[in-house]
Chains A and B, each alone.
Chain A
Amino acid sequence: MSLTSLTATETVAGIKSGKFSAEEVAKAFLERTAKLKHLNIYVHLEPEVVLNQARGVDSRLKAGENVGPLAGLPVAIKDLICVEGEPTTCGSRMLQGFRPPYNATVIEKLKAAGAVLYGKANMDEFAMGSSTENSCYGPSLNPWDPTRIPGGSSGGSAAAVAAMTAPVSLGSDTGGSIRQPAALCGLVGLKPTYGRVSRYGLIAFASSLDQIGPFTWNVPDMALLMEAISGGDDRDATSIPEAVPAYSSEIEKRPEKLRIGVVREFFGEGLDPEVAAAVQETIKVYQKLGAEIKEVSLPHSKYGIAAYYIVAPAEASSNLARYDGTLFGHRAKDYSPANDAEKELPALVRMMMATRAEGFGAEVKRRIMLGTYALSAGYADQYYNKALKVRRLIRNDFEKAFAEVDFLIGPTTPTPAFRLGEKAANPLAMYLSDIYTITTNLAGIPGLSMPCGLSSEGLPIGVQLVGPALSETALLQAARLYERETDWHTRRPNLTV
């Protein structure tokens, strides 16, 4: 077995035991990455920087130092997580050349745990999209079928692991941006409880919804990563100070309670029959494992997409206002008046306008306009404030459900990976690919997607488990329980290199 097909747990164990070096691991991934360039996974990757980190780990190991739980493990990073001195561009023209002078808290935690920061993974611009087609670098391709998208917005992070160019990666999830690509790429993806992982250094799309989480091949790897990156942070007021459980040593235990709610609303119109069948199979596995299965209802989930596409763009319109060419990032070179009306405007205003016109792509502009409108005087009550009310109702739905069951189960996505360009011209169809994931962001609760089947075309299918706030341990235990009974998590795409 080659070094690139090992799980993270195996990789770290191998490096620590001296079976192979961190440098050998890094080299193996770099070589494979070089051969898979056509998948367009990385937007920035400097082999020397990677190798130097790996060599550092090796020499510390040799010196007998404690190198941490992720010793020598390469971790691909979504291009919106700040790494000091490295390009961090959010898949946007707007941030070309931007190198933050600080690390995100998760980056500091990864480094402290001995991880090797691998490349910056492609993504939809500013995390807005479900396919990576909104990236200024062009789409990443799905390693299972390069005519299809890997999902998004963290599509590059998902493809990185699925293509075995990195053993694990970090993404971010605002409405499904980890779980949807994890499902479409046959991986385990977790959106933690809002606040479980610090957002400091995560370039904001929608602050009240964004959350960083890992992509891994299996649950033990997920536990390993989550243990390293979770925790309260003085630099993020919304982070949760609660101590981080020892996920890794907890996951083999059976969850204390195993009452699983099947969400009625998640099996309706638009759900691919193959996906539905795979999820039903999963439910049967749980039943065999002694789970109590109940049908539950989340009556307000049908308003989830509508509420999300007001709240998220509203916050985005404000978060992205800073990209105006004054302090950092792209600045338009030519901002001479484009028409007579612009002649009246001060040069500064024309510069800001031209910068934003050039720097942002179509989807980002669409959402900035949506959000600006939703917050405008006279419209805020109809849109933004109403969406906040819906958000509360959705939260209440979950609370009611969790009074009866311990987990919710349903498909992660309505369909397996779609073809490049299939939905690019239809934003609404694209938005609907997050229909099952979006409500957990609105409620701030954790959701985990794991592989549960392959379609007749050989495409991965994901099932989603959702738990109440801070239920990550139980969620991982429940996922692990299933994983031990099945082998979907061991399937790899057929990629010729």
Chain B
Amino acid sequence: MATENKAPYTMVVGLEVHVQLLTESKMFSWTGTEFGLPPNTLCDPVNLGMPGTLPVMNGKAFNMALKTALACGCTISRYTKWDRKNYFYPDLPKKYQISQYDLPFSLGGSLPIPMDKEGNGGGSVRLTRIHLEEDTGKMIHTAGQESEVDLNRAGTPLMEIVSEPDIRSAVDARLCLEELRLTLRYLGVSDCEMQEGSLRCDANVNLHIDTPAGKVATPIVEIKNLNSFRAVERALNYEAERQYRKWQEDGLTIKDAPKETRGWSDPDGITKLQREKETAADYRYFPEPDLLPVVVDEAWIERLRAEVGELPRDRRKRFETAFGLSEYDANVLVEQGKAVADYFDAVVARTDQYKMASNWVQQDVLRTANAMGITVENFPVGPETLADLISRVGRGELNTQQGREVLAKLVEAGGSGSLEAIIDAGGFKMVSDEGPIREAIEAALASNPKAMEDLKTGKKKPDAIKGFLRGQVMKATGGKANPTLVGQLLDAKLAELEQG
């Protein structure tokens, strides 16, 4: 929010998100929905729209869509039907798309916008509606006169989620989409891979500008070709500036110009006007006579509600209240995906060192897993072992540095080594005896007279000097000294020297 607030306008954004559902078969026929197969290998007579064939609804897809709607707190329509959206395009074999027009299965609902490190986000976005439809095929425009069409995608279950224009910044739009992706992945209804097109997003944006004569709104622009969340953010920021400049030039408002469609060009970092059709599209919607309306009863809804499970938003709250984590930490653990949060949950079920568990999972586990190029599910050290290790550190048996070294050895052993054995073999026991630490402090002071000099003359900050000396002591004790004790004894020694 911070940066946008300085602008002389408010950005108003609504999103239209298409999500492919993770079903085994298509929305209305029996072939599979895998991505990346050779063109036109996932075809059957129904999804090719061959004469005489009829669609049959994929009940699993409908259930996934219902779960999504329940997770977003939407109102489920007790009576919903299918409609035909008619238009001629080669990627649409029947020349109509089976979709939902005036009675979608879900209305209302909302998505939270989580807060990021910079304090962006917060609040929520209302949803207008969610409906189900079938995906189209893909046109491949080659250099020559001919165009090619791949119908593998045609008929894949597609959920369209339309938001209200509640978003007020490009960052919020990105955060909202990230939350949507996380929620859908939690529900297991979509893999939401933008690169593979299983999540696609269009954004509607205009500006509300305060003028001496009152508030004016610029014409609405629909941005297409948004192929990453970063692209959404960049495109919106670009478009806001462009609309503002344009308004300054021509003064056109929402009342003077129709909605236009612009495509985002990622390499150029600009939006470009897309060729408008000469006449407005008339899709001639009418009820799909080949399919029956769907009547959803209370029992059906309750059965699926039970399958929804804990959502990211609920999990964040639980991490804050049950484990005392900050909103930021709770979000980092949750936004990494279900597996990471599950791992954390498994750790804190076995140790009361919640804060340390949060830090270790966020830093040590994730960093190591990333470096190894694996996911947390395949991390060689299980949550039980990590919990044990963290508890030992918490009890003061090891210091943090030793704990990290033990973890590194556990990872090296591929998870096969026992924690106890590694600790014993490496002598990873924290030294809390005062004697050896005092000796190390004396030695450090003796071999670094300049440090004392600096402290006296005030040439360097006392904290920096203490930090340096503490490092020397830790080094001298092989990293085994209790750092808290080192700090205390060092402070006492310095105070003694100052007074003396």
Contact = CB atoms under 8 A, between A and B. Distances in A.
Contact of B290 (A100, A238, A322): A238
A204 B54 CA distance: 9
B282 interface: yes
Given A100-B45, A102-B53, A328-B51, 17 more contacts: A82-B51, A90-B51, A200-B52, A201-B53, A206-B289, A235-B56, A237-B54, A237-B55, A318-B84, A318-B96, A321-B88, A321-B96, A322-B93, A322-B94, A326-B93, A377-B282, A380-B284
11 contacts: A80-B52, A90-B51, A201-B53, A235-B56, A322-B93, A322-B95, A326-B149, A327-B50, A347-B145, A375-B285, A376-B284
Contacts of A377: 282, 284
A276 to B, nearest CB: 35
A236 B291 CA distance: 8
Nearest to B46: A235
Nearest to A346: B147
A388 B232 CA distance: 43
Contact of A236 (B54, B149, B285): B54
A37 B147 CA distance: 45
A96 interface: no
B48 interface: yes
A275 to B, nearest CB: 33
A18 B90 CA distance: 55
Contact of B90 (A88, A235, A326, A329): A326
A207 interface: yes
Identify whether the interface residues of B are mostly helix, strand, loop, or mixed.
loop
B295 to A, nearest CB: 13
Nearest to A103: B52
Given A100-B52, A376-B282, A237 B93 contact: no
Interface string B49-76: 1111111110000000000000000000
Contacts of B90: 326, 348
A32 B56 CA distance: 42
B286 A384 contact: yes
A259 interface: no
Nearest to B49: A322
A101 interface: yes
B339 interface: no
Interface of A: 80-82, 88, 90, 95, 98, 100-102, 104, 199-204, 206-208, 234-238, 314-315, 317-318, 321-322, 324, 326-329, 347-349, 352, 372, 375-377, 380, 384
Contact of B53 (A80, A200, A234, A375): A200
B52 A321 contact: no
B96 A199 contact: no
- The size bracket of the interface on B is 20 to 34
B296 interface: no
B292 interface: yes
Contacts of B147: 348
Contacts of B94: 321-322
B86 interface: yes
Given A321-B95, A375-B86, A199 B51 contact: no
Contacts of A329: 51
Contacts of A236: 54, 56
Contacts of A206: 289
A153 to B, nearest CB: 16
Contacts of B284: 317-318, 372, 375-377, 380
Nearest to B30: A235
B56 A318 contact: no
Contacts of B49: 322, 327
